[in-house]
Amino acid sequence: MKKLQNILNNKKYQNNRLASYSYSIKSSFLQNIFITLIFFSGMMVTTLSYSQPYVPAHDPILQQVAKEVPPKEILQEENQKIIDNMVKIARNETRGMAGLAAPQIGVPLQIILVNMNASLEKADNSMSAKIYINPKIIWKSEEEVEEYFEGCFSTGSLIGMVPRYKTVRIEAYTRNGNKEEFEFTGYTARIFQHEIDHLHGLRFPDRMKENFDKLHWVEAGKMAEYATNFNNWDKKCSKDEWLSFINEAPPSNNK
């Protein structure tokens, strides 16, 4: 695991500006470790313009339950083109990406992409895209829950500490139409939970329950400061502000 200052001084890291789908900071090492880029469904924090290929944070599709893809239709050209487009978006995302859900690009279908290279231990923006269709969590480690920080392409510059199950078992179809089961733990399990939430109209602040004291506005240029000063961060986002943010035109976060 890299020291915080080494990561912040790394030119490649600086140029990538805190990539997409998400990043996390492990709470027990908050003072000296910046844990890498994740991007659950596009999970990572950055100050984003609301433009293609991602829909804006207040788009109604992000609050709707996506439709399942009929298994017999997975191989149809239309659905394969959607999958190809998601892979293309992920590979072209220069800021890095840990995951992507179809609703984030305006497609109301239960399809997610997960970057299997996403890691907490290293700042690795390389893409190993895997597609999962109609994914369902069929088992979770209810006795083991961990909190990490998450961000998202679909929440603007918000960052929050989100509880997630440490291990999950997933049932899903591959892009070849095969139904399979998979088990994941740690950061990869977190990405799956983040992305599957998108398919049910949920984003990470919705998983914070009433603990909105841990939901913050953080500009991209303030990430180094935030990583070492989380407990004293004054730019908090209340529950009312979150609801306003997702139901109206995005407000300014320059408070």
Q: Which of 93, 150, 195, 241 is catalytic?
A: 195
Token digits for 224?
């180094």
219 is catalytic: no
Token digits for 236?
């908090």
Alpha-carbon gap, residue 157 to 184, rounded angstroms: 28
Cβ contacts of 214 within 8 Å, gap of 6 or more:
160, 161, 208
Alpha-carbon gap, residue 153 to 104, rounded angstroms: 8
Alpha-carbon gap, residue 72 to 182, rounded angstroms: 21
Token digits for 8?
């912040």
Nearest Cα neighbor of 200 from 38, 39, 41 is 41
Cβ contacts of 239 within 8 Å, gap of 6 or more:
210, 212
Cβ contacts of 120 within 8 Å, gap of 6 or more:
1, 24, 26, 35, 36, 38, 186, 187
Residues taking part in catalysis: 195
